Each structure stands twice: as C-alpha cells, then as structure tokens.
Amino acid sequence: MSRLASKPTARDVAAEPVRVGLLGLGTVGCGTITVLCRNREEIARRAGRRIDVIQATARDLKKKRACPIDGIELVADAEKIVRNPKIEIVVELMGGYEPARSLVLSAIAAGKHVVTANKALIALHGNEIFRAAQAQGVMVAFEAAVAGGIPIIKAIREGLAANRIEWIAGIINGTTNYILSEMRDRGADFAEVLKEAQRLGYAEADPSFDVDGVDTAHKLTILAAIAFGIPLKFKDGYVEGIAHLTRADVAYAEELGYRLKLLGIARRAPNGVELRVHPTLVPERRLIANVDGAMNAVLVKGDAVGPTLFYGAGAGAEPTASAVVADLVDVVRTLTTDPTNRVPHLAFQPDALVDLPILPMTDVRTSYYLRLHAEDRPGVLADVTRILGDLGISIEAILQKESAQGENTVPIIILTHPVMEQSMNTAISRIEGLAAIRGRVVRIRLEHLHADWH
Ligand code: NAP
Ligand code: HSE
C-alpha cells in the first residue's frame, strides 16, 4: 500500500471540523449520525475536514434514540440551531412542509448551507428555496430526496450533463414497490404489507403519500426539473396510486408476460412535458420489471448515452443516510468555491430555465391493459372490439378467463397498442355503456420502455 493511502492527510487532522445542526432524529436522522460516526475517518479523508453534528432537535427530546447521541446538544427550539453562528450546515430530516420550510429559509437567511431529504418540501417549495439560496450564495443539497441511496441527482445533474435527456421512468417509492412485490410473491394482503413497510422505516409519516403516488410525484417533479431545465411543477402532474389494484390484476399481468409497477414517467413531447405517476405494466424481460422489494431503479434515456439504469435501496435508515452524508461531503468540499462557480441547484443555470408546459393526461399516448366483466354470451366481445376499432385503437392481446363459481360474467383482459388517452377515455365510457358489461372497466397503463422511445 502506498504511503499516501495509508496515512491521513495533514489537512484532515489540522483543519477545524465543520459543525452541523441536525433537525430530526428519526429513521434518517439516526441513520445519518450512525454513518457519520462509523465512517468518521473515511469521510474526513474525503471531505478534507471532520464533520461534527453539534446540535440536534426532535419533537420528544426524552425519547430513546436508535443512534449514539452523546456529545450532541439536544435543543427544543429548532430556530436556535438554524441561527447558531458556529453551525455552517443545517441538515433538515424532519419531513413535511412546515416548520421545515420556515426553518430551511431561516437557515439560508442566516448564511447556512442546507442538506435535506425532504422531497415534499423541495417539490412544492423548491423554487422559493433555491431563489433564496442563490441570493445568499449558499447550497441546498437534496440527493436523499430522490431514490434513497441511489446517487441519481448527481448522475443526471453532472454525469449526464452532455446529454439532452429524452425521458425518465422510475420505480422511486420503496413502500409501494415492496407492497406490489409482496402481493405478487406471497399473495399478501395490502394492509398487512403496508404495516410491515412502516415497521421497516420505509413509509412516510403519512403513508397515504406513498400509497396514493404523491411521494413518487414529489420525486418525479424533482427529476423532471433537473433533467429538462424546467421549474418544479408538482401541481401540474398526473398522480394515481396503487390502492385500487387487485391481486387479480397482478396475476393477469403476469400471465401476459408483464409486471405491475408504480412508475414515475417524465418525458419530453413535441408540445411540452409528460409528468405522470400511475401503476404501469412493464414487459417482464425489462431489468426494471425485476426490481423488487423496497429497491428503486431509475431508467434515464439521454440522446448521447442511450438508456442508463440506476438501481439501489430506495428507502431505509442507512441507504438514505448514505445520500445525506454524500451531500454533506459535497458541501464541505465546495465551502471554499466561488458561489457562482458551483453546480447549479437544478442542474441548469438559474437564468436558463425554460417554462415548458406539463401536458394534460388526455394528450399522453400510451398502451393500456383493460379488465372488464362481461355477460358470457355471443357477440359481447365483438361489440367491445368494434368500439375499440371505431376509435382506431389496435388490440395487442385478448384473454378471456373463466367465470368465478356462481357468477354469470367472465373477466376479459385486453392489451392495446399505444393510443391517445383522450380516445381511450371515450372507448371506456362507450364500453361501460354496453348492456352486457358489468361495473367499471379497470384501466392500467402499459409502457414497453424501448430504448428508441422518444
Ligand atoms: P421520521 O422517522 O418520522 O423522523 C422525523 C424526525 O423529525 C423525528 O425525530 C421527529 O421527532 C422530528 N420532527 C418531526 N416534526 C418535528 C417538529 N415539528 N419539530 C421538531 N422535530 C420534529 O422520518 P424519516 O423517515 O427519518 O424521514 C425524514 C425525512 O427524510 C422526510 O422528509 C422523508 O420524506 C425523508 N426520507 C425518508 C426516507 C426513509 O426511508 N425513511 C428516505 C428518503 C427520504 P420525534 O422523533 O421526537 O417524533
Ligand atoms: N417513503 C419513501 C419510500 C421513503 O417508500 O420510498 C424514501 O423516499
């Protein structure tokens, strides 16, 4: 081993530690302290200075914590931390919109750099926060906000900077991927698996954010901004969760050679940007279709590099801490850099963002899985296929299942080729109007994710 590698550099030892204030001592807060303690020397060698958490806050300061907090002063009033002149970096790991937003803005106003894992905060208030940070010349780093431990922000913002990004499709919520995987593998019950995801620390404080697709939409909003150089536009996207999915849909998808995943898709279209979150059938031969449990994966298609796939743990204490600490190291390394020469918060220079519209869902073109329940008599299928044909909707596959015992309807599964959502809406309402069709038509979107999709 060389001398250089075996000895700590003089710079580490001599330099003053960087003092950090931590807002939140939950799953990620404690994971961050644990990783900072365990890898203290290695991290200092990378950052060039030691990183010390000197103050922290939580709601209940008496609660027993899952990490070593000796030597950290616990402070009830978070404002004292963000205004402490000794603190250079504030790490926000409380979650939610308030008081996180006010505290982050206070920290920025006090000239502190900020690291956060809070995707809800960045997706909704990021434009305001980055403007304030730009004016103060401080950094706001948020790698942990998207896809847990996968360094996807850095990859898109820096590693793929040569490319025109064409589309992104990602499994970016560990909780829902865990639920769908367990439903498929064990035939497990939705509510039971959700409880397990909460116990493992994957779920949000309000798990409806996970289940209803909102957490995925927060993360997708951030990815779209850094990929396309647009402002954060959470409110304009389409969001649909997984609560309505049945084990039957998971099984039928499987039978047809597909896996059911909650995907976040951001795609450049000629007249704007598609920003959509919904359950999606993905061909089982795609690598992303085989991402199971709480793992995340993000497919990014750049015009120069082609499709790239980033895979790793999307939630949990230490995987998320890995991203938080990487941001801390990045901030420490750039403490001496001229603020105007830093990597821009949203990848593109603040005066070079373009305000592309987010397309309404009716203007999105995609393939579909339809499940309908029809009376088992001649001519019904012909009526359904005529409706689709009249609207120019081409069928890829049809599967008719046996009727359940005691029922006189049969489930029919139809896969279509790509069509505009507007036409599919018309087709579904006409099909639901047929006398032989019972109940609502279940619609799940299907994407082939071909390398040449653009
Ligand atoms: P958590 O386990 O619920 O921890 C939140 C912490 O913040 C707790 O220590 C809580 O105090 C404290 N806190 C909450 N509200 C507060 C307030 N008003 N004042 C003072 N302290 C407050 O949450 P988490 O899972 O660590 O998530 C933290 C952030 O990371 C969230 O933005 C989340 O979306 C994000 N994130 C989480 C994961 C993950 O896998 N968990 C992954 C990526 C990103 P008490 O402990 O006293 O209640
Ligand atoms: N609740 C989130 C998830 C945490 O399940 O992916 C990681 O962002």
Summarize pLDDT for 136-187 with one digit per residue, the tens: 999 999 999 999 999 999 999 999 999 999 999 999 999 999 999 998 888 8
As given in the structure block, the two tokens for residue 379 are 């001519």
What is the distance in A from the centroid of ligand 1 to the CA of 95? 5
* Parallel/antiparallel/unpaired status of strands 165-171 and 295-302: antiparallel
Sign of the C-alpha dihedral, residues 163, 117, 120, 282?
positive
What is the Cβ-side half-sphere exposure of residue 90, based on CA atoms within 13 angstroms?
Answer: 30
* DSSP-derived secondary structure letter, 61: T
Ligand 2 atom closest to the Cα of residue 219 is: 8
Work out the angle at residue 61's Cα, subtended by the Cα atoms of residues 55 and 63, and round it to the nearest 5 degrees: 125
Q: Which ligand is nearest to the CA of 78?
A: 1
Is 178 close to ligand 2, i.e. is its CB under 6 Å away?
A: no
Residue range(s) occupied by CATH 3.30.360.10 in the chain: 152-313
Q: Which ligand is nearest to the CA of 116?
A: 1
Query: What band does 1 get if pLDDT is binned at 50, 70 and 90?
Result: very low
Neighbours of 329 (CB within 10 A): 18
Express each pLDDT in 315-333 by its tens digit: 999 999 999 999 999 999 9
The reported pLDDT for the residue numbered 432 is 98
Our measurement of the distance from residue 244's CA atom to the centroid of its chain's CA atoms, rounded to an integer in Å, reads 20
**Separation between Cα atoms, residue 32 and residue 39, nearest integer Å:** 11
3-state helix, strand, coil in the chain (%, to 5): 40, 25, 35
The reported pLDDT for the residue numbered 11 is 53
The reported pLDDT for the residue numbered 14 is 46
The reported pLDDT for the residue numbered 343 is 87
CA-closest candidate to residue 428, choices 373, 386, 367, 370: 370
Residue range(s) occupied by CATH 3.30.70.260 in the chain: 362-446
Ligand 2 atom closest to the Cα of residue 172 is: 6
Query: What band does 12 get if pLDDT is binned at 50, 70 and 90?
Result: very low
Q: Which ligand is nearest to the CA of 27?
A: 1
**Separation between Cα atoms, residue 209 and residue 9, nearest integer Å:** 45
Q: What topology is assigned to 362-446 in CATH?
A: Alpha-Beta Plaits (3.30.70)
Question: Which is the CATH superfamily of the domain at 3-150+319-352?
Answer: NAD(P)-binding Rossmann-like Domain (3.40.50.720)
Is 175 close to ligand 2, i.e. is its CB under 6 Å away?
A: yes
Helix (H, G, I), strand (E, B) or coil at 51: strand
The reported pLDDT for the residue numbered 190 is 84
> Bigger pLDDT: 404 or 44?
44
Mean pLDDT for 405-424 is: 92
The reported pLDDT for the residue numbered 13 is 44
**Separation between Cα atoms, residue 367 and residue 313, nearest integer Å:** 29
Mean pLDDT for 389-403 is: 92
CB neighbour list of residue 226: distance below 8 Å, 6 or more residues apart: 153, 156, 157, 346, 347, 348
pTM across the whole model: 0.93
CB neighbour list of residue 16: distance below 8 Å, 6 or more residues apart: 49
**Separation between Cα atoms, residue 362 and residue 238, nearest integer Å:** 10
CA-closest candidate to residue 261, choices 369, 351, 341, 343: 369
Q: What topology is assigned to 152-313 in CATH?
A: Dihydrodipicolinate Reductase; domain 2 (3.30.360)
Residue range(s) occupied by CATH 3.40.50.720 in the chain: 3-150+319-352
> Bigger pLDDT: 277 or 12?
277
Name the least confident of 39-53, 290-304, 339-353. Answer: 339-353
The reported pLDDT for the residue numbered 419 is 97
Express each pLDDT in 264-309 by its tens digit: 999 999 999 999 999 999 999 999 999 999 999 999 999 999 999 9
Work out the angle at residue 77's Cα, subtended by the Cα atoms of residues 76 and 81, and round it to the nearest 5 degrees: 110
Residue nearest to atom 8 of ligand 1 (CA): 26
**Separation between Cα atoms, residue 358 and residue 232, nearest integer Å:** 11
The reported pLDDT for the residue numbered 143 is 98
Residue nearest to atom 1 of ligand 2 (CA): 203
Is 204 close to ligand 2, i.e. is its CB under 6 Å away?
A: yes
The reported pLDDT for the residue numbered 452 is 83
Residues catalogued as catalytic: 219
Beta bridge partners of 414: 370, 398
Residue nearest to atom 30 of ligand 1 (CA): 117
**Separation between Cα atoms, residue 155 and residue 146, nearest integer Å:** 12
Instruction: With a cut of 60, say whether residue 8 has pLDDT above it.
Output: no
